[in-house]
Amino acid sequence: MTTEIHPGAVASHTAEELQQLFARQQAFFQSGVTRSYGFRKAQLGVLRKAIARYEQPIQEALYKDLRKNDFEAYGTELGPAYKELTHTQQHLRGWMQPRHRSTPLMFFPSTSKVVPEPRGVSLIMAPWNYPFLLLIQPLIASIAAGNTSILKPSEEAPHVAAVVKQMIDETFEPDYIAVVTGPGQQVSEQLISRHHLDLVFFTGSTAVGRKIMQAAATQLTPVVLELGGKSPCVVAADASIDYTAKKIIFSRFLNCGQTCVAADYVLVHHSVKDKLIAALKKHLLQMYGNDPQQSPDLGRIINLRQFNRLTGYLSQGNIVHGGQHDANDLYIAPTILTDVPMDAPIMQEEIFGPILPIIGFDTHEEAKAIIAKNPYPLALYVYTNSSSTERYFMEGIQFGGGCVNNGIIHLGNTNLPFTGVGYSGMGGYHGKFGFDQFSHLKSIMRSHRLGDTPLWYAPYKKWYVQVLRKLMR
């Protein structure tokens, strides 16, 4: 498919249009059409065919917005979307079944179950760094759960937003699934704060996440927030350094460092710090060459505003590798910094780019104290061959998810939830976790008329209390 799509032609929605869209989706949901297994399964198939039709325009749009090469476009956007669809289609019938639960003896004769119910109208707001995947993956969960969906792609990735809008408009009726455009703040003010949506799913920065939550609070709308933070990477003295360096480079510089779960800084034991830096340099040269600007495997910064923010960090430490940049090309070389003051902005703010500070430590307690300065990271990575070191960090730090001896790959497992904690977010998704997040888990207890006990009815006899004491302990 080679349809030319012009992002400039996508107009913002007015408050009246958003109100009408919400009312139409609410009416469609209340009709009950979305509730059946057959409908949900069919719509997942329709979405899969639509993505397949639009693969080429999606890849082209990802290149235009972020200079994503074919490997990254498929490996981090299209491929995971297909995988999520396959997993959901295979397991949907089972997920939808009532979940039978045991019932306390005191309520005999009764049975208990949890029934996954559709929530209603969901709003999904995606970021610009993985602008296709982080819109489509939550949509898959929303469809599977039986909701209607309003999609808000990021205006910072205009080519992807335009392609997705055309794909959705061509494929689904807007009463069921629709794409809204315009600045995120405008959508928040005109849709979230004025209408009782049944779920808002937002992926983005912690600062914007706070605003989304504040807007949703006016309507008591539940929210799922997938945010960010300063995710640490700990390299212990016993780590396999050459292997570790390759994994750090892959996970840090994928998508030009613009990944919410990328390691934001490396804490390395002083005894192996120099070895790690040398290994990082060696593998950076092997992966991206002497002039990374010419490498087809390195993406670009999303826009000039982010470029200027990132280049401002370059003076906050000693550049031991990289540092070259070109505003006209939105290019920043993969860069390693050392001697970074702990109070520098680069150590207070999420970097979200191809710059990696390396900080030495002597004891585990020292490393843990540094991490505690930016609590609740979205991810944590530990490289070690010691099970006790692994336990010390994995059990002693609150974080969303992570890996031991690898980086970011936990997001590729549909059997694991993707979730933050504290400042890095709330709620989670992927696979069944996404289905449950977009569902209301309704509790139902059914009692039988035969065998009813007088215990619950006044006048209460003294021996009733003795029975309760035995039944309720």
Please list the active-site residues.
Answer: 226, 260
Question: d(Cα 312, Cα 400) in Å, to the nearest integer?
Answer: 28
Query: What tokens were used for 60?
Result: 């082209």
Give the ranges where 68-157 is alpha helix by DSSP (H): 70-73, 79-96, 133-145
Reduce the DSSP state of residue 200 to 3 states and report it: strand
Question: d(Cα 454, Cα 158) in Å, to the nearest integer?
Answer: 67
103-111 LR contacts (CB < 8 Å, sep 24+): 103/445, 104/471, 105/471, 106/468, 106/471, 106/472, 107/445, 107/447, 108/451, 108/453, 109/447, 109/448, 109/450, 109/451, 110/445, 110/446, 110/447, 110/448, 111/445, 111/446
Q: Identify residue 216 by its one-letter amino acid code.
A: A
Q: Tokens 């055309």 appear where?
A: 166
* Residue pair 364/383 in contact by the 8 Å Cβ criterion: no
* Residue pair 317/342 in contact by the 8 Å Cβ criterion: no
Residues 269, 275, 278, 284: is their CA dihedral positive or negative? Answer: negative
Residues 250, 251, 256, 257: is their CA dihedral positive or negative? Answer: negative
